[in-house]
Chain A
Amino acid sequence: MGAQAWTWTAVAVVVVVLLAWTAWTLVRLRRLERRVTRARAALESQLRRRAGLADELAREHPAALGALRARALAEAAAEARSTPRGDREAAENALGRELRDLPADLPGVPASVQADLAGTSTRVALARRFYNDAVRDTQALRSRRLPRVLRLHAGRPVPRFFDIDDRLEELTASSAGSGSGGRP
């Protein structure tokens, strides 16, 4: 084979490898996109649930909360519900603050409502963490050189982190524990 044939072979190999890599990366990007969508849906539903519970608490148990606090909570819940997706963080933060400031025991409020509220707050934190994790994975892949140069998924918006203060340290730094301990 002459030098030219070698060159063509080399070019062909490079093209095939590049195509294979592109196909594989597109699979990953699509998978990540679905994961982000799922995680976002889970986060939205937990946030809606939290706002709904807060609203219910404010409307049905104003006596337990005190009129002032009940009004503030209702307003925060309404604000969180009505704000469009784009800049929800501030509204959700305000609602989270109101909920955290509630006294530990609310006389007259059924235990089930309080447990629901606590559970939903935990789930908001979980859902937010999993969503941000999916966003981080997507951004990491999108920002690599070849996907940028080849403009893979370039037309689609890069997902944004959702940042609210949800006392996440409870999930990341509190209870310690065990670890390597028993590996076989």
Chain B
Amino acid sequence: MKIKFLFLLVLISSIAFSQDKTTAPAFKKRVLESTEVDFLASYYNQDGSRSAVSGGIGSEKLTDIASNIVVAMPLNDDDVLTIDLGISAYSSASSSNINPFNSTGASSSGGPSGTPWQASSGASKSDQLVSIVANYSHSSDSRNFIWNTDVSFSNEYDYTSVGFGGGIATLFNEKNTELSLKANVYLDKWRPIYPTELDEYSKYGANFLNQGYFNGVSVLDQNGQATTNYLPSAFQTVSGVNRNSYSASVGFSQVLTKKLQFSIFFDILQQQGLLSSPYHRIYFADKANYYIGQAQYINNYESSTNSGVYKLADDIERLPDSRFKVPVGARLNYYINERFILRTYYRFYSDNWDIQSHTATIELPIKLSDRFTVFPMYRYYTQTASKYYAPYETHLSTERYYTSDADLATFDANQYGFGINYTDIFTGTKIWKFGLKNIDFRFNHYERSDNLNANIGTIAFKFVMQ
């Protein structure tokens, strides 16, 4: 399969390059006339009731603020260097419940308590992600062949990613056809953090209820009685912390008429290593239940009225150390008239965890004037569940792989919103040496069939050095 695929890539490349008979023009237009700077910022919030950290139930409230600055610099007529710096900060009820107990153990009066329905004060309630990507691209004299290479780095509290890759693109048939190939590798590393009760078990072993965090803390059984029977013996810390991702992509685009063009993309992705999240709890249906907190809330544990008891995990999610993904996508854009443009997108996805998905997007830019464009948009998404997924407390301890992460469940989602674009080709507004060329604002609302809701707003400014 892989050999055939590579053979096909080589064949396509050979044909593509054989089409490029354009000679270098006497005058070369610079690929990028001057330095461009993009400032982007976004605000995202979500809420839901199927937190993976709490084994498939509980608050998924999350707020994320992100911003990027992207600087594209022409190094000469042919070469462009692009640096993309990003930072994002989130606060999350779900991840706060890695340690759900809102006091530091038995030392506090009344003992610790928690609930999957509210954020705790745990250190994992917030984090920051920083990232940097550098991309270098070179265009041939004819501008019909482009190669690029990139390196990337990102880091957050428990995760670091290093990536590199490259690609080529060739244009032929009077620049009506473009063929591109791309490959990327990401070498990621976890610094695993585990749910508090499992972390304590891994530190102190079978006697952990008498040591560390649990020393003096009452563990309750299903009837609300104090017990010492809680022993998550299925739990072991993860054996490997690396996650490597390898991807290859082929793209083909074609101008069909003066008003119509399309492109298709075909990717293959292979992931290896730790593909589960070490802090996603699992509750087995065939194991007894144990809690910390206030006994009166045990009977309505699965209701958001539970404000004072948290169930102790049987294990963390376990997933295979390999995943192979095949997405195929296509875009078709049509210039209807001077006022309207139609942008469409479709993607099919399949992987060897039995997930299949379809995505369809439609956007209708409406040109209100030379400077203003508004664009309503709609996106539909549907996916089937992974064969390793089961809802809260339905997995059995005899299974090899298990997860209650709702992101791997069957669901469909609707996203709708709008955007406003302001463009000033004369860059009349200036800040220092930079003229404002473009402002792009967009807002979208996202609704999933499992009641996860999200809103995201983004604003982007493009400046051109003068």
Real binding pair: no
